[in-house]
Structure 1
Amino acid sequence: MGWSELRRIPNEYDETIKEMDEKIIDLITSHRSLTQGRRFFPSIEQIKEWSLRFQMDESQISFLIHNLQDQVRPLIPDELGELQNVISIMKKSIVEFCEYTLTHSMQYKNVSIVFVDIRLQNADEREVHLKPNLLLEIISDQQFVVRRYGSRGGGAQTEMQFIISPPIPESLVNLEFSLVPSAVFLERKIQEIVLDRQIDFY
């Protein structure tokens, strides 16, 4: 087999699945034709209802609906460019047991990188690990491309980073920020097995 030839990857496929796929593609095409690039998104209550009905995580449903949006967006530049400024944001919100803080933005020539600090309140009362399935949404007259850029931390505290193109303006007066549910589609649940028995070696 030459370098220009692709190995055929074995896949199972039949007429039943083909018909389902065609219906899905047809529905996506119809959905985008009706929305005409406008943002349509169901309420939190509706997502909760679907989650119970279809036995799917709310974050997975949100991810699916979000990716139905027919929006042509520019790609994020590969190069950050020179660091030009650091903007203090310090916007804080407390939801349920967690405190969320948009701390600052690193302003590069080509992009911005916004940092989010998440802390579990009363963390000393429990042993936990925060898993934020969240994406930063910027509401503005200007359109921004936002991608998750990294995260660090563990236990009851974590930090998320989001890369944004074009860079956000120095003045944040006309910008609104929200964290919205997002997840890797159909992420497999990992079974945790606790090994806590005494083991003797002879």
Structure 2
Amino acid sequence: MKRMPFEPPTEHYDERIEAIDEQLCDLIKQRKDISNNNPGFPTNQLISAWSEKYNLYEDFLNSVFGQFLNEEVYKPVVEPKGFLKNIPILKSFEKDDLFYSVTFLRQFENASVVHFNVDKDDSDDMPGVFPEHTWFDLSIDDVEGTDYDCRNDEWGGGSRGHISYTFIVSPPLPDDISKIKLVFKECKTPFKTKPTGLEFVIKMD
């Protein structure tokens, strides 16, 4: 999924605040370093106190601190280029009435694309009532300890009984995937902040 190029909302910039804006960038970096990039979220009491003390709207502060949690979303996206081949996987995991499967992956010169599906029997679902949507995080475990970047290319689409996801993995997975493990974690939000506790591994051997 290609990201639209950013365009500044205005051409105006008051250069008198340039030093302050640079300080903000420095403070953001310090915040990441001190918290090991895992800061959590300020309590409602703190947000309310800061809102009153600094004359800022509470919803604005909630939005600002929410963006700090989502920095990874803005990491440059690898666009798969140079298609090489499809590799069938056909591996699955089942829990309760849900069937999770990796059907195949597409190999490109600079990335791999993992196709992941979630299926369920929706025959007993009430018409017009949709189940709570969840998201999945993918990480790669291999014997080499390779640091793979796994990006959810689409937040999941389909029908009530079927949802499909695609993950862009870079660098690309090796052609010999027998020692690769795909680790899936379910989350209540698209930014990995509220795991549901469901985690499973699909081995590629």
Could you say which TM-score interval applies, normalised by the shorter chain? Answer: 0.5 to 0.7
Name the CA shift for 1:7/1:123 in 2 (closer, same or farther; >3 Å).
same
**Out of 144, 148, 151, which is 1:147 matched to?**
151
Counterpart amino acid of 2:111? Answer: V
- Give the equivalent residue in structure 1 for 2:117: 117
Q: Larger relative contact order (C-alpha < 8 A, sep ≥ 6)?
A: 1
Please, which runs of 5 or more residues in structure 2 have no aligned partner?
Answer: 1-8, 15-26, 39-65, 194-205
- Give the equivalent residue in structure 2 for 1:199: none
SS in 2 for 1:125: coil
Aligned residues: 136
Deviations for 1:59-94, whole angstroms, at most 9, x for unmatched residues? xxxx99x9799xxxx95433x222111111122101
In 1, the alpha carbon distance for the partners of 2:108 and 2:146 equals: 18
> 1:163 Cα deviation (Å)?
0.7
Stretches of 4+ aligned residues off by more than 4 angstroms: 24-28, 66-69
In 2, the alpha carbon distance for the partners of 1:159 and 1:168 equals: 20
What is the alpha-carbon root mean square deviation over aligned residues? 3.8
TM-score, normalised to structure 1, is 0.54
Q: Does 1:84 align with 2:90?
A: no
- Give the equivalent residue in structure 2 for 1:18: none
**Which 10-residue stretch deviates more, 165-174 or 101-110?**
165-174
SS in 2 for 1:124: coil
Name the CA shift for 1:185/1:77 in 2 (closer, same or farther; >3 Å).
closer
Name the CA shift for 1:7/1:184 in 2 (closer, same or farther; >3 Å).
farther
Deviations for 1:91-124, whole angstroms, at most 9, x for unmatched residues? 210123211001110111111111011101x321
Say if 2:116 and 2:165, in contact at 8 Å, map to a contact too: yes
Identity %: 17
Say if 2:100 and 2:119, in contact at 8 Å, map to a contact too: yes
Counterpart amino acid of 2:112? Answer: S
Say if 1:129 and 1:156, in contact at 8 Å, map to a contact too: no
Name the CA shift for 1:6/1:96 in 2 (closer, same or farther; >3 Å).
farther
Say if 1:149 and 1:163, in contact at 8 Å, map to a contact too: yes
Say if 2:136 and 2:190, in contact at 8 Å, map to a contact too: no
Name the CA shift for 1:174/1:161 in 2 (closer, same or farther; >3 Å).
same
Deviations for 1:110-139, whole angstroms, at most 9, x for unmatched residues? 11111011101x321214446231121111
Counting only pairs closer than 5 Å after superposition, residues 1-202 of structure 1 correspond to structure 2 as 5-6=11-12, 28-32=32-36, 75-78=76-79, 80-120=80-120, 122-127=121-126, 128-129=130-131, 131-140=133-142, 141-150=145-154, 151-180=156-185, 181=187, 183-184=189-190
> 1:27 Cα deviation (Å)?
6.6
In 2, the alpha carbon distance for the partners of 1:6 and 1:185 equals: 32
In 1, the alpha carbon distance for the partners of 2:132 and 2:162 equals: 7
> 1:183 Cα deviation (Å)?
2.0
TM-score, normalised to structure 2, is 0.53
